[in-house]
Structure 1
């Protein structure tokens, strides 16, 4: 793709500079890297809960639904939690380019580790993928920005839009191919396909290494020798504590998967709270920044509710698709994992529509405010779970429902995502205190961690996922959050210090 879509850039001598759709050539390689990384991520995710709950006779691990959903939620939470140290390592140790390459390699090894037919290696593989994703996710977007040294380059926003397309292309094709092979042929072959996908992404990244900006190699705040020694020392101490503690638990015969899930769930809940409190109580923040952080806490909590529901596409909704949905449409049979291709398909179809809609409404002075968009997003995600409540009721007994139920749910959720997600990213940059400007994007990702960790906690406490109450209670919470934000929009707006 890189060669076929490159051409001489305008304003330069023919052959002197190659571009990708009129953009810096390095965008082609980052596009392909991200596309294949997302292919591997969403392909594996489409199989994860299905594999965990499949019987041993069917090649799965035969886990209870609650345990499988908790594992899935903790894994998702870790991916976003580790984006913070991933950005820190790039800033202090390796630089974005090297950190991304290391992350891609770790992800690839993780997927191939999942492909091994042993339970112990499976969980090691999940950990490696989460670690690698944290390293890559926090830095590859940064490198896209580095391709445009001029912050006012008119191609900059379009470049990120092209990059965003890569995410959805990978996410769309992953369940269709990996899901089909994993469910119909062999689970571990499906996981291996995800590893091949990440390997291709790594190859494209290495091939385009020289086309990336030199700025991507810069370590902005390098560690001193003393800091490195201290970091290694502390790391070894904590590693030794973990080895001794878990060694004792294993030797005593007490170890179960809960010994991993509970600590990670608690960390996923407490760390976001600690970080927000840390920033909010920082005495270096002036009065306006303090108020803006108060406003941001509102948005953070609502975002956590949103992502906690939204990320169940690969867990509770995936199980509903397998167990309660007739996977036949117009006489064509398909694996249940294919439902997870609906969201990226809807995003690619609707994102341009929403972009044009906001522009048109803005020209007429009728564009909804940022707060209203945010409220609408969480309201819609709640509405989607009310639809799921009705679908669960229709699937009572041995009855299976039409695929149109899940098609409707995914459509509502996608509209909510397009309303809330871009606004959340924009608000984060606008409300961020100057001292924490670079770190606040990682804080926004912690909302995903908090939401997924909450779902994991509910599962560990025994909440059933295959009931109308599960969907109704979360739907009601999200709708109430949306209504509360809308009703209190003037109060929240006053805290935003002129940010719109």
Structure 2
């Protein structure tokens, strides 16, 4: 006999449901900037393609890199819910400034927006992960659902961005971006008590210490804005600095792992570091979507399907559709496989995601080889590439967030969650480097640029497949480090 619907949903931890909707609306502003920044910079502000790709790379690096800082601030200086709402207010101000339409306002707007988005995304993930015990089998499903909610926000953002892109109405586009941020703030305030932190260092602080930490956290938020404003105007030096910081964080994590005295936890930390290297390859290719791949789509692909003109941002909705439709289906399918004793675990998913990413880039190479007389590639090849990349994302991204709760010792969870996101920021810089390799001068044709694109896509595709195969060979080692043989892990997650 089936359980009544309320009984099914009563098993969801308090706050997990509302976080789905908070995630969805908070994503709108980022979706607009992520999909439109390069086009806005090249078409409206007249930046050259290489400079626009570099700014996009720095944008991604700060957005994801600051997640590490957010993971440290949240729960220590400001509660996760306070930091989230404060960050969303900064995002509203940032999108409003960019709507002004000048290069100077772009830099101030990005500084405001990145301070907010960089710090508060970790807060959402920490608010969700705190609601599950370390071995709770519902954790992976909750993150898959939350990831689907985020991609609903991306779908809406990309769709609206494409609509305004066709008419070049950037002012209204960036004003629209503020709306989702405002709704996310309203939801967080409406469910304020439900979203309270659970077991964070800040909760143990004395009233006086709490006030001092609050003041320090607010000062950090205020000070980051002018700092980012300055760094965004010097993207070349900033890129080198961010890569150096990332290397420093990697060394610090290795030292932390070597010195950790609890042996089972130390082994899981080594597994985390190995999987992080694999994810760096994946995200470096994935982050080419809003820069190099978007410029390739505009200049070298027939952006038309069944007689309908396709805005560049709409192409990225292929990704969101695969995530939104595939996320819940994948969660249900994995649960069924594990119930039947079929071993589906994190190392397998990471390896498969890298192979899929590589095949996605090789599909572009094949499409270029079949281009028409003008060098234009049929849209089906670009669409196929995005589908393959998105299937890989389903395998690596949600489970990547969820695995932090299992692999990271509790005292390091915030820092390791932030470090995981920092990898995506570093990958954004590498994506800018790759995109810059094929930046074409104004007036170049598809025929003249196709050889450079084909060479780059082939190298990146084969490289990703090779790393995926290497992870396949390392699956037994990774399973030993994680501390669960596949059958045991399957039973634990069923």
1:218 Cα deviation (Å)? 8.2
- Which one of the candidate residues 146, 159, 165 is aligned to 2:148? 165
1:261 deviation in Å? 3.7
* Residue in 2 that maps onto 1:14: none
Name the count of aligned residue pairs.
Answer: 469
Cα distance in 2 for residues equivalent to 1:155 and 1:294: 25
Q: State the distance in 2 between where 1:153 and 1:430 align.
A: 10
Among 37, 40, 50, the alignment partner of 1:48 is 37
Q: Distance in 2 between matches of 1:228 and 1:96?
A: 13
Question: What secondary structure, in the 3-state scheme, does the structure 2 residue paired with 1:281 have?
Answer: helix
Task: Answer yes or no: is the 8 Å Cα contact 1:382–1:476 preserved in 2.
Answer: yes
Partner of 2:74: 90
CA displacement at 1:446 relative to structure 2: 2.2
Q: Distance in 2 between matches of 1:10 and 1:153?
A: 21
Task: Give the one of 110, 113, 119 matched to 1:135.
Answer: 119
Deviation at residue 342 of structure 1 after TM alignment:
1.1
Q: Per-residue displacement from partner, 1:422-453 (whole Å, max 9, x unpaired)?
A: 33234433322454244322222222123223
* 1:275 matched residue in structure 2: 252
1:67 is the counterpart of 2:43: no
Q: In structure 2, what is the equivalent of residue 470 of structure 1? A: 456
Pair 1:300 & 2:276 matched: yes
For the residues of structure 2 that align with 1:365 and 1:151, how far apart are their CA atoms?
Answer: 22
Match for residue 108 of structure 1 among 81, 92, 105: 92
Alignment of 1:181-330 (within 5 A): 181-213=164-196, 215=198, 219-220=202-203, 222=205, 224=209, 257-267=235-245, 269-282=246-259, 284-330=260-306
| SS in structure 1 at match of 2:343 | coil
Give the match's secondary structure for 1:92.
Answer: coil
Distance 2:186 2:413 in 1: 33
Q: 1:121 to 1:403 in 2, by over 3 A?
A: same
Equivalent residues of 2:147, 2:398 under 8 A apart: no
How far does residue 231 in structure 1 lie from its aligned partner after superposition? 6.7
Where relative contact order (Cα < 8 A, 6+ residues apart) is larger, the structure is 2
User: Structure 1 residue 38: deviation in Å?
Assistant: 0.9
Give yes or no for the alignment of 1:453 onto 2:453.
no
Change (3 A) 1:46 1:416: same
Seen in structure 2, the aligned counterparts of structure 1 residues 297 and 190 have a Cα distance that, compared at 3 Å, is same
1:21-60 matched pairs, under 5 angstroms: 29-54=18-43, 60=44
- Name the residue aligned to 1:490: 476
- Does residue 337 in structure 1 map to residue 321 in structure 2? no
Deviation at 1:159, TM superposition (A): 5.6
1:370–1:90 distance in 2 versus 1, CA, 3 Å:
closer
Moved more, 181-190 or 389-398: 389-398
Q: State the 1:109 CA deviation.
A: 0.8
Does residue 1:77 correspond to 2:55, yes or no?
Answer: no
- In structure 2, how many angstroms separate the alpha carbons of the residues matched to 1:86 and 1:214? 15
C-alpha deviation, 1:280, in angstroms: 2.3
Q: Which residue does 2:447 correspond to in 1?
A: none
**Greater shift after overlay, 391-400 or 350-359?**
391-400
Hey, what's the Cα distance between the residues in 2 that align with 1:20 and 1:312?
A: 39
In 2: Cα distance, 1:149 partner to 1:213 partner: 14
TM-fit CA distance, 1:486: 0.9
CA RMSD of superposed structures (Å) = 3.9
Q: 5+ residue gaps in structure 2?
A: 441-451, 490-494
Change over 3 Å in CA distance of 1:221–1:264 after alignment to 2: farther
Shift in Å, 1:413 = 0.9
When normalised by structure 1's length, the TM-score is: 0.81
- Determine which of 407, 411, 424 is the counterpart of 2:387: 411
Can you list the C-alpha shifts for 1:104-156, whole angstroms capped at 9, x where unaligned? 1011111111111110220221222221112221112333456x588899987
* Bigger Cα displacement from structure 2, 294-303 vs 105-114: 294-303
Q: Which runs of no fewer than 5 residues in structure 1 stay unpaired?
A: 1-7, 12-18, 55-59
Q: CA deviation at 1:312?
A: 1.7
Partner Cα separation in structure 2 for residue 286 and residue 325 of structure 1? 54
SS at match of 2:50: helix
2:284/2:424 contact within 8 Å kept: yes
Q: Report the secondary structure of 2:100's partner residue.
A: coil
Cα distance, 1:100 vs structure 2: 1.0
Flag the 1:39–1:102 CA change in 2: closer, same or farther, 3 A. Answer: same
For 1:429, the equivalent position in structure 2 comes to: 405
Kindly indicate whether the alpha-carbon contact (under 8 Å) linking 1:272 and 1:450 is maintained by their aligned counterparts in 2: no
Check whether the contact 1:92–1:221 (CA below 8 A) recurs between aligned residues: no
Q: 1:226 to 1:53 in 2, by over 3 A?
A: same
Tell me the residue number matched to 1:3: none
CA spacing shift, 1:370–1:258, aligned 2, 3 Å: closer
